[in-house]
Every structure is written in C-alpha cells, then in structure tokens.
Structure 1
Amino acid sequence: MASDMATSLKVERKPKLSETVVTALRKQLHAGEILPGQKLPTEGQLTETFGVSRTVIREALAKLAADGLVEPRQGAGVFATEHISTMFGALAADMGAKDSIALNVLEVRLAIEIESAGLAAVRRNAAQEAAIQEAFFEFERLLLASEPTGPADLAFHRAIASATNNPFYVEMLDVLGRRAIPCDVTSPWSTELAQSDVYQRGLQREHLVILNAITAGEAEAAREAMRAHLSASQQRYRERLHARQVFYADSVRAAATE
C-alpha cells in the first residue's frame, strides 16, 4: 500500500533548461547543421534563440565541451570540434588489440570506403586527385626504402575520403584509420607477415586498381576495386588468425611430447 502511494505521488523530474539546450545543439552537431570547425552562435544569440539566461547557455556549452563536441577558443568563441570524440570515438580509442574488433573495423570500413571511392571518382578536383596519387607514390617510396608504409597507406585512403567533398567520410577514417591499417607498425594487429614486402606489394597492386578507376572517373569500377581491396584485407586477417591457432596447437602438442 505504502509503495503504491509512493508511486502515485512520484512526480517526473523536468529536464534542466541547460539539458534542453544541450540536446538541441547536440542534434545540430550530429546532423551536420553545424559543421566541424564551424563557430557556434554567440552566447547572446543562443540566449535569444532558446529564451534562457547566459548562465544556462554557459552550462550547456560546458557540457558539450566536456563531451568533446565543442571547444572554446580564447577571444574567438566556441567552435565545433574538428574530429569525432563522441562515444564512438572513445570506443575506437580504447578498443585495444582484440582480434574480433579488428575484423569489425574492417567491416565498417567496407561500408564507408566503397561509397567514398565511388564518390571520389566523380567529385574529385585536380588537387584532390593529385593528393591521392602522392599518397600512392609515397607508399611506393617507403616500400622501396624498407620503411613502415602505414602512414602512407592511411593517407591514401584518407585522400580518397577527402575527394568525396563530404567531411564526414574523413572524420570516420580519422577515428578508424590508424588502427585499421594492419601494415602500420603502430597498429595493435600488425605482424611480421603484414609488414613483409610480399604482403605490402599485394596491397600496392590493389591500391593501383583503385587509383586507376578514380583517375578514369569510373565510379562503379572504383567501388568494386575498393570492395575487393578491403574484402581481401578481411580474408588475409582471418588467415592470420587461423595460422596463429595452428601454431598454438602445434606448440601445445610439441610441449606435451617433451
């Protein structure tokens, strides 16, 4: 009886005014109505828009800054952050070296980069095409010099994303890119096999097919080339996992016979 009375007397808490402002601004940021790097309206303008005090606006902006969505710049105002630092970004930064996540990242890249290659083929300008080519040849230079090619590999994919002229493709790669490049020695999934000349030569041949399709302005060919490249990366990673399992099983058997 007492619990029923307590339930009937419960009053739903109204959201704070600052929470309402935070929700509205967060939606604008995620929807791209406020672009990365863009300056937000002034405190005075936000006060008029939401019909609240400056204190409420400051509290809301502080919450957005704590979430990594905006950043105040002394004497300039408050700006949307250039890179994703939301829950998704935090997950990518904290995902460690789990093999299942490596495969999941490659799956996400398939969804993102197949279309980015197609869009790059039709939307690129001369400077963006040159940037893709420069990243390709930088990969080649590093390979010939027996130096780590991971940064050039990421730069190649990032230049393609940039050539879509849609900043969100670039932002997604900024979150996923480094950890999704298995030949990068800084990647938690890098191995001697991934860093071998034969392995990277295979990557570069796949890169060339993508580059040729984009340069020719053939959107469907670019999509297919990117699909083949990332699907092959998935398969190579699965084969590496299987090889690791076989090695472990052989080691266990060898230890048991000693």
Structure 2
Amino acid sequence: MANETTIETRIERRPKLSERIVASIREQIAAGRYEPGSRLPTESQLTQLFGVSRTVVREAVASLAADGLVEPRQGAGVFVRETPTTTFGTISLDIGNKISHALNVLEVRMGIEIESAGLAAVRRNNAQQAAIQEAFFEFDQLLAKSEATGRTDFEFHRAIAAATNNPFYVEVLDALGTRAIPCDITSPWGTDSTLTKEYQEGLQTEHLEILRAISAGDPDRARNAMRTHLTASQERYYKRLNGEQAGYVFGRDMSAAPRSKQKAGKHE
C-alpha cells in the first residue's frame, strides 16, 4: 500500500501574461505563421488579440527582441528578423519556466562563460574592454534609479563573450537571450527575491571582480571570478527549490499565489 503521507512537492510558478504571449508568438514564428521580414500585428492589435494591457505586450516584445527573434523599428512596427540565430536557436525556444531549466541554462553558461572570461582577459582590445566596463556602470545607474537591470546584466556578459573574438561564444549567449538573466522582469525565473536591490548589489560585487580581472589581463583570476559568480547563481536557485518545499502547504495551489509588487527593477 502506498504511503498516504507521500506527496509530490514539485511546485511551479504560473507563467506571467507576457510569457504566454511570447510562447504563442514563438510558436507562430516556428510554424511559419509569421515569416522572416514580416511585421507582427500592431501593439493595439496584440492587446485586443490577447486581452492584455499595452505594458504586457511591450514586455513580451522586449523579451522576443532580446532573444533575437524580432526587431522593433521606430515608427514602422515590429518585424520578424530575416536571419534569426539558427545554429543555437532551439536553445531559447523551449526554455520554459521551471527552475530545473534555469539550472540547466546555468550549467551551459558555466561551460562557455568561464573560459570566455579567461580568453577575454588576454584577447580583448581597448574598445572591447570599454564595452564591458560601460555595461557594468550602466547596471549601477539603472539600479540606483530602481529600473530593470536584466538587459544590462546580459550586455555585461555578452561584452565579455565578444571580447574573446570568437563569434560562437556570442552566438550561444544570443540564443539564450536575457531570459538567462533572473534579475530581469522578462525572465521566466525572476522572483521577488531576485528583483530586490540587495540581491542585485550582490551581483554587482561579483561582476566587479570579473571586470577587474579582465582589465588586469589575468585569465586565471577572470575564470575564477566567473566561476564564483555562476556557482553563486546556482546556489541561489537551489535555495529557491528548498524554499518552495519548506513553504508547501498540502491542498493549496502555490502556483496560483500572486507575487507581491515591488522592488528594484520590477514594474508592470
């Protein structure tokens, strides 16, 4: 007889409205409903089609653009990219919103970003070093204004990949897009705890050590700093898993519980 006290404690967060729009448009692009070079419905049409606010639509479009699937053009609309990332494009199509997927993404990032940091330390030119530093300080400026930092966080890591002068490092990161950055509101793994100012200040401390190592031209130190940064991110996700189990209440749908409003970088 099965133990009646045994329960499944896998708890998943209900996708945000913007994530549902992103998934729908992704599917339609993959199916050829929206062909490369074609224009998506207008913002007004998308709000009516999905029954959501303009803010939600803009968040969805920002996520699609970050993943390289669409390109907003000032005054013309949003267009499906003619040459989206294809070699690694399927990575970003089925990421989903499970913490297990986030851990898988971090494992991939560790496999490429630790070495990319080391290569950047010895291969970067002055312009590439400046780009890394500019992304670092832009993160600081956005954080001070309580604005979303995910895009700049991604740009920091992407600038390091570009400084390897090996385009495949950049291509993999572009395939993952800013959805790999949990402190952004467009990430499917962003939570109240990952959107706090304190959390993001901790990220900046880790970013600073990476920046200093690359600027010093020290590849071993750069690799170690990146390893420390991504390992800390893994540990934060494991804590979230343990927290979900600890907060589980039998018979209550935890995925339906609304997330509180807030915090640094969060806006609806």
TM over 0.5: yes
Report the counterpart of residue 24 of structure 1 in structure 2.
Answer: none
Mark the runs of 5 or more structure 2 residues left unpaired by the alignment. Answer: 1-81, 253-268
Mark the runs of 5 or more structure 1 residues left unpaired by the alignment. Answer: 1-80, 253-258
Distance change (3 Å), C-alpha of 1:165 and 1:83: farther
Q: How does 1:88-99 map to 2 (within 5 A)?
A: 88-99=88-99
User: How far, CA to CA, are the matches of 1:89 and 1:109 in structure 2?
Assistant: 15
AA aligned to 1:173 is L
Is this contact kept in 2: 1:113–1:161, CA < 8 A? yes
RMSD: 1.6
Paired residue secondary structure (1:177) = helix
Q: Are residues 1:197 and 2:186 paired?
A: no
Q: Give the superposition deviation at 1:240.
A: 1.2
TM-score (norm 1): 0.64
Q: How does 1:216-255 map to 2 (within 5 A)?
A: 216-249=216-249
TM-score (norm 2): 0.61
AA aligned to 1:84 is T
Number of equivalent positions: 171
Q: Give the superposition deviation at 1:238.
A: 0.9
User: How far, CA to CA, are the matches of 2:103 and 2:114 in structure 1?
Assistant: 16
Report the counterpart of residue 10 of structure 1 in structure 2.
Answer: none
User: How far, CA to CA, are the matches of 2:110 and 2:138 in structure 1?
Assistant: 23
Q: Give the superposition deviation at 1:98.
A: 1.8
User: How far, CA to CA, are the matches of 2:221 and 2:118 in structure 1?
Assistant: 8
User: How far, CA to CA, are the matches of 1:117 and 1:182 in structure 2?
Assistant: 20
Report the counterpart of residue 123 of structure 2 in structure 1.
Answer: 123
Q: Are residues 1:85 and 2:78 paired?
A: no
Identity %: 63
Q: Which has the higher helix share?
A: 1
Report the counterpart of residue 166 of structure 2 in structure 1.
Answer: 166
Is this contact kept in 2: 1:83–1:174, CA < 8 A? no
Q: Give the superposition deviation at 1:245.
A: 1.7
AA aligned to 1:85 is T
Report the counterpart of residue 258 of structure 2 in structure 1.
Answer: none
Report the counterpart of residue 143 of structure 1 in structure 2.
Answer: 143
Considering Cα pairs closer than 8 Å and 6+ residues apart, tell me whether 1 or 2 has the greater RCO: 2
